[in-house]
Amino acid sequence: MWHGASYDSEVFIDATTGQAAEAIRLLNGRDRNDVYLREASGPWIGVGGGPSHFMVTFAAAADGPFFQAVDPSMPFFPEVAIVVGGQEIRCSLQDVVNVVDATTAACDFVRTGLRSKSVSWRAR
Protein backbone atom coordinates (compact mmCIF):
# COMPACT_ATOMS: atom_id res chain seq x y z
CA MET A 1 0.00 0.00 0.00
CA TRP A 2 1.11 3.55 -0.64
CA HIS A 3 1.60 5.79 2.40
CA GLY A 4 2.57 9.19 1.06
CA ALA A 5 5.89 8.72 -0.74
CA SER A 6 6.50 5.17 0.58
CA TYR A 7 4.72 1.88 0.19
CA ASP A 8 4.49 -1.64 1.53
CA SER A 9 3.56 -4.81 -0.26
CA GLU A 10 2.30 -8.31 0.26
CA VAL A 11 3.72 -11.16 -1.82
CA PHE A 12 1.92 -14.38 -2.64
CA ILE A 13 3.71 -17.31 -4.25
CA ASP A 14 1.46 -19.17 -6.71
CA ALA A 15 -1.46 -16.77 -6.24
CA THR A 16 -4.93 -18.14 -6.90
CA THR A 17 -7.58 -16.53 -9.07
CA GLY A 18 -9.48 -15.78 -5.86
CA GLN A 19 -6.50 -13.91 -4.40
CA ALA A 20 -6.03 -11.96 -7.64
CA ALA A 21 -9.72 -11.04 -7.82
CA GLU A 22 -9.73 -9.96 -4.15
CA ALA A 23 -6.59 -7.82 -4.63
CA ILE A 24 -8.25 -6.01 -7.54
CA ARG A 25 -11.52 -5.61 -5.63
CA LEU A 26 -9.53 -3.88 -2.86
CA LEU A 27 -7.93 -1.31 -5.22
CA ASN A 28 -9.35 2.04 -4.17
CA GLY A 29 -7.31 4.55 -6.19
CA ARG A 30 -5.77 5.92 -3.01
CA ASP A 31 -3.48 3.89 -0.74
CA ARG A 32 -4.30 0.64 -2.59
CA ASN A 33 -3.68 1.44 -6.24
CA ASP A 34 -1.67 -1.29 -7.96
CA VAL A 35 -1.34 -5.08 -8.19
CA TYR A 36 1.34 -6.98 -10.12
CA LEU A 37 1.24 -10.64 -11.07
CA ARG A 38 4.39 -12.25 -12.43
CA GLU A 39 5.29 -15.58 -13.97
CA ALA A 40 8.75 -16.97 -13.24
CA SER A 41 9.30 -17.24 -17.01
CA GLY A 42 8.98 -13.45 -17.48
CA PRO A 43 5.41 -12.45 -18.40
CA TRP A 44 3.61 -10.12 -16.01
CA ILE A 45 0.41 -8.13 -15.69
CA GLY A 46 -0.13 -4.93 -13.74
CA VAL A 47 -3.48 -3.53 -12.66
CA GLY A 48 -3.64 0.01 -11.34
CA GLY A 49 -6.27 2.50 -10.28
CA GLY A 50 -9.61 1.65 -8.76
CA PRO A 51 -12.27 1.56 -7.63
CA SER A 52 -14.10 2.11 -10.94
CA HIS A 53 -11.39 2.79 -13.55
CA PHE A 54 -8.39 0.49 -14.02
CA MET A 55 -5.30 0.58 -16.19
CA VAL A 56 -4.21 -2.96 -17.10
CA THR A 57 -0.82 -3.63 -18.72
CA PHE A 58 0.42 -7.01 -19.93
CA ALA A 59 4.05 -7.75 -20.79
CA ALA A 60 4.94 -10.93 -22.68
CA ALA A 61 8.42 -10.83 -21.09
CA ALA A 62 10.25 -8.63 -18.60
CA ASP A 63 11.07 -6.12 -21.36
CA GLY A 64 7.89 -6.52 -23.43
CA PRO A 65 6.27 -6.40 -25.84
CA PHE A 66 3.65 -4.51 -23.87
CA PHE A 67 -0.12 -4.40 -24.33
CA GLN A 68 -2.75 -2.27 -22.62
CA ALA A 69 -6.34 -3.35 -21.98
CA VAL A 70 -8.72 -0.94 -23.66
CA ASP A 71 -12.44 -0.28 -23.90
CA PRO A 72 -12.99 0.58 -27.58
CA SER A 73 -16.65 1.39 -26.89
CA MET A 74 -15.64 4.44 -24.85
CA PRO A 75 -14.80 7.84 -26.33
CA PHE A 76 -11.18 8.97 -26.41
CA PHE A 77 -12.11 12.16 -24.51
CA PRO A 78 -12.77 13.14 -21.79
CA GLU A 79 -9.83 11.93 -19.74
CA VAL A 80 -10.10 10.41 -16.30
CA ALA A 81 -7.62 10.74 -13.43
CA ILE A 82 -6.45 7.53 -11.76
CA VAL A 83 -3.71 6.73 -9.25
CA VAL A 84 -1.13 4.09 -10.23
CA GLY A 85 2.09 3.47 -8.32
CA GLY A 86 1.15 6.22 -5.89
CA GLN A 87 1.00 8.87 -8.63
CA GLU A 88 -2.01 10.45 -10.27
CA ILE A 89 -2.09 10.10 -14.05
CA ARG A 90 -4.65 11.16 -16.66
CA CYS A 91 -5.89 8.61 -19.19
CA SER A 92 -8.33 8.50 -22.03
CA LEU A 93 -11.55 6.68 -21.18
CA GLN A 94 -10.55 4.19 -23.90
CA ASP A 95 -7.34 3.36 -22.01
CA VAL A 96 -9.04 2.26 -18.80
CA VAL A 97 -11.37 -0.66 -18.17
CA ASN A 98 -13.98 -1.55 -15.58
CA VAL A 99 -13.48 -3.89 -12.63
CA VAL A 100 -14.94 -6.88 -14.51
CA ASP A 101 -12.44 -6.58 -17.39
CA ALA A 102 -9.54 -5.90 -15.00
CA THR A 103 -10.43 -8.96 -12.93
CA THR A 104 -10.93 -11.12 -16.03
CA ALA A 105 -7.52 -10.10 -17.40
CA ALA A 106 -5.80 -10.85 -14.07
CA CYS A 107 -7.57 -14.15 -13.41
CA ASP A 108 -6.96 -15.40 -16.97
CA PHE A 109 -3.29 -14.52 -16.50
CA VAL A 110 -3.13 -16.45 -13.21
CA ARG A 111 -4.68 -19.49 -14.95
CA THR A 112 -2.64 -19.41 -18.16
CA GLY A 113 0.29 -16.97 -17.84
CA LEU A 114 -0.98 -15.36 -21.05
CA ARG A 115 -2.86 -12.25 -22.13
CA SER A 116 -6.63 -12.74 -21.76
CA LYS A 117 -8.58 -13.35 -24.96
CA SER A 118 -11.73 -11.99 -23.28
CA VAL A 119 -10.39 -8.42 -23.05
CA SER A 120 -9.53 -5.96 -25.85
CA TRP A 121 -5.83 -4.97 -26.02
CA ARG A 122 -3.73 -2.34 -27.80
CA ALA A 123 -0.01 -2.73 -28.41
CA ARG A 124 2.06 -0.08 -26.61
pLDDT above 90 (res 106):
yes
Q: Supply the pTM of this predicted model.
A: 0.92
Residues ≥6 apart with Cβ < 8 Å to 79: 90, 91, 92, 93
Spatial contact of 27 and 47, defined as CB atoms under 8 Å apart: yes
Average pLDDT taken over every residue of the chain: 93
Tens digit of pLDDT for each residue in 35-80? 999 999 999 999 999 999 999 999 999 889 999 999 999 998 999 9
Q: What is the pLDDT of residue 99?
A: 98
Q: Where are the alpha helices (DSSP H) in the chain?
A: 17-25, 99-112
DSSP state, residue 42: S
Phi, psi of 97 (to 5 degrees): -125, 170
Amino acid at 35: V
Taking residues 101-105, report their average pLDDT.
98
Amino acid at 80: V
